[in-house]
Amino acid sequence: MPDSLTQQMAPQPLLKMCEVSKSFPGVQALYQVQLTVQRGEIHALLGENGAGKSTLIKILGGVHQPDCGTIEIDGRAVAFSSPRAALDAGIGIIYQEFNLAPTLTATENLFLGQERSTWGFLQRRREHDRAQKFFARLGVPIPLDVPCSELSVAQQQIVEIAKALSREARLLVMDEPTTALTPAEVDRLMDVIGELRAQGLGVIYISHRLDEIQRIADQATILRDGQCVGTLKRSEMNRQTIIEWMVGRQIENEFPKQATVLGATRLEVKNLCRGVAVRDVSFHVRAGEVLGITGLVGAGRTETARLIFGADRRDEGSIHLDGRTLKIRNPRDAIRAGICLLTEDRKHQGLMLDRSVQENFGLPNLKEFSIGGFLCQRHERIAWSGYRDQLQIKVPHAETLATHLSGGNQQKVVLAKWLQANASVVMFDEPTRGIDVGAKYEIYLLVNQLAQAGKAIIVISSELPEVLGISDRILVMHDGRISGELLEPRQATQQQIMQLAVG
C-alpha cells in the first residue's frame, strides 16, 4: 500500500502542536516545539523548571498565544484566543493550584458557569444526578453536598477531573497531580487516569516524579531550554535516559551521598508534645549527620519541625543544642540559637514573593547588616553576591523579585539567608517538592556540604527514594509518634518504611 494512502487511512491524532514558539521580553520561552497526543494515550511532558512546560500548556489552554506554529485538534487547525475557547474545544487543564470555589459543594463546582434553570429556579435535582454519574464514571464516591474546603486534597483532585469531564473534555492536562497525595491516594488516582485512558481520553501528565512517569505514561516528550529534546516510547523510558535528556548531562548517581565523620550530638529533643499532632517525640542529631524523617501525610513530621523552630507552642518537652537547654518561644528565639527551618511551603512561609531576592536574603540578618540602626545595603549586597555564586543561584540581578525564580532557585535563596545566619541546625521540610531532577541534585550536594561543615541536618520528605538516598539514619512517624528507626538506609527498602508508616 502506498505510504500516502496509509497516512490518509491512519487516524488523526487528538492533539498536534507543530513548531510552536513563544518569546517574552528578553526570554525565548519556546522554540519550534512539537507535541503529539493520541486518543486513549497518557503522554508525559517532562523538563526542568524553566524548560517551557508551563508556557506550552498555557498556549494549549488559551492563556498565551504563540508567536508562530500551529495547533490541531482531531486534524483541524485551531487558535485559542482565550481559556474559554480552549475549554469549548475540549481542553481541560488541572493546575497544581486547584481552581475550585472552596465554599461551594462538589456539585456546585462542577456546573459553575453552566447552570440550567426552569422558570428562574436552578435544576438542583438534575445537577445532583449528573454529578453522581460523573463520579461513578471515575469510580470514586464524593460527598456531593459538602463544601469543597472540607474535602481532602485527593477528593478535590477528583472534583477537578469531574469538572473537566462535565465540560466534555477530550484532552486532560494534569500538572503535578500527586504532590500532596498519600501513596494510597496516588494509587487511586493512577487507577482513575487509567480508566480515562480506556474511555478514549488523551492525558498530558506533568510530574517530576519519574517513578510515576515510568508507571503510567505511554510516551514522554522532554523539553530543555524551551526546545523539544525528543519523545520516548514506553519501552525506552529508562530512568537514567530521562534524567540525562532533561538536564543535558550525565548524572551517575541520582543521590550523591557522601560519607561524613559524625561528631557529638548537636540537637536533642525530649518528649515533645502538642495535642494529638505530636506525642512524646524524642530523638537526637549529631554533627555532620543527615537525619531523615518520613511518614504519611498527617503523621506529625512538619508539626515536629515547627515545635523545634518555635512556630508552634509545645505542650511539653525540651530542646537542647550542644548540651544547652534552649528556651524557644518563637522563631526569633530559634534563629538566635542557631536553628533554622526551610518550610514545606516556601512560597508562602519561606519567602516574600513580591520582594527582591536580596531583601529576602537580608530579612533575618538585618542586625548583622545594620550600622547605628540603619541598614547598610552595601554589606548586604556583598554577602548576597557571595552566596549567589556559592550556591549557583540563577538570578539576573539582586533586585529580581523572588516570585520570578524557579522552585529550585527559590529554595536556594531561602537556604542562603539561613547560611548567613550561621545556623547550627538546618531543617528541610520537603526540600525538593515541585523541583526538577537537576535542581534536586544540586540541593543534595548542598546538604552534603552542610553536613561536612558539621551542621546537624534534618530532612523531612515523603519521597521514599530521596529519604533512603541521602540520609544517615531514618525516623518514621505515624499518628504523631516515632514508630520506628532505620539505622542503615542503604540496606533498607521502601516497603520497610511503609510498614512502619502505617503503624
Kindly report the backbone phi and psi dihedral angles of residue 464, in degrees, each rounded to the nearest multiple of 5, phi listed first. -65, -40
Q: Residue 444 falls within a domain, yes or no?
A: no
- The DSSP string of 318-350 is EEEETTEEE--SSHHHHHHHTEEEE-S-IIIII
Q: Are 29 and 226 contacting, i.e. CB atoms less than 8 angstroms apart?
A: yes
Q: Residue 259 falls within a domain, yes or no?
A: no
Strands (E), 74-162: 76-78, 91-94, 117-118, 121-122
Q: Residue 343 falls within a domain, yes or no?
A: no
Residue given cell 512546560 in the structure block: 53
Strand 91-94 versus strand 171-175 pairing type: parallel
Residues 201 and 321 in one domain: no
Residues 167 and 38 in one domain: yes
Residues 237 and 299 in one domain: no
Q: Which of 41-45, 199-203, 247-251, 440-444 has the lowest mean pLDDT?
A: 247-251
- CATH code at 494? 3.40.50.300
Q: Residue 440 falls within a domain, yes or no?
A: no
* pLDDT, average across residues 227-231: 94
pLDDT of residue 65: 93
Residues 218 and 329 in one domain: no
Q: How confident is the model at residue 10 (pLDDT cuts 50, 70, 90)?
A: low
Q: Residue 118 falls within a domain, yes or no?
A: yes
pLDDT of residue 5: 47
pLDDT of residue 68: 95
Residues 128 and 226 in one domain: yes
* pLDDT, average across residues 373-402: 83
pLDDT of residue 433: 78
The pTM (predicted TM-score) of the whole model is: 0.69
Residues 146 and 277 in one domain: no
Question: How many structural domains are present in the chain?
Answer: 3
Domain that holds residue 144: 12-247
Most confident range (mean pLDDT) of 96-110, 310-324, 385-399, 488-502 is 310-324
Residues 43 and 164 in one domain: yes
Q: Is the pLDDT of residue 186 over 70?
A: yes
Q: Residue 255 falls within a domain, yes or no?
A: no
Rg of the chain over all Cα atoms, to the nearest angstrom: 25
Residues 225 and 366 in one domain: no
User: Which of 213, 247, 281 is the last residue in one of the domains?
Assistant: 247
- Residue among 247, 244, 237, 217 nearest 50 (CA): 247
Q: Residue 3 falls within a domain, yes or no?
A: no
Q: Taking all residues of the chain, what is their mean pLDDT, rounded to a whole number?
A: 87
Please write down the HEC assignment for all residues of 228-243: EEEEEEHHHCCHHHHH
Residues 130 and 88 in one domain: yes
Q: Sheet containing 171-175: give its strands across.
A: 91-94, 171-175, 202-206, 42-46, 219-224, 227-233
pLDDT by residue (tens digit) across 329-386? 999 899 889 999 988 777 777 788 888 888 888 887 778 788 877 888 888 888 888 8
pLDDT of residue 416: 84
Q: Residue 446 falls within a domain, yes or no?
A: no
- Residue among 211, 258, 255, 261 nearest 237 (CA): 211
Residues 161 and 278 in one domain: no
Q: Which residue has the higher pLDDT, 35 or 362?
A: 35
Residues 89 and 193 in one domain: yes
pLDDT of residue 4: 52
Most confident range (mean pLDDT) of 164-173, 246-255, 280-289, 430-439 is 280-289
User: Which of 199, 219, 247 is the last residue in one of the domains?
Assistant: 247
Residues 93 and 218 in one domain: yes
- Percentage with pLDDT > 90 across the chain: 44
Q: Are 458 and 431 contacting, i.e. CB atoms less than 8 angstroms apart?
A: no
- Residue among 103, 102, 101, 121 nearest 112 (CA): 101
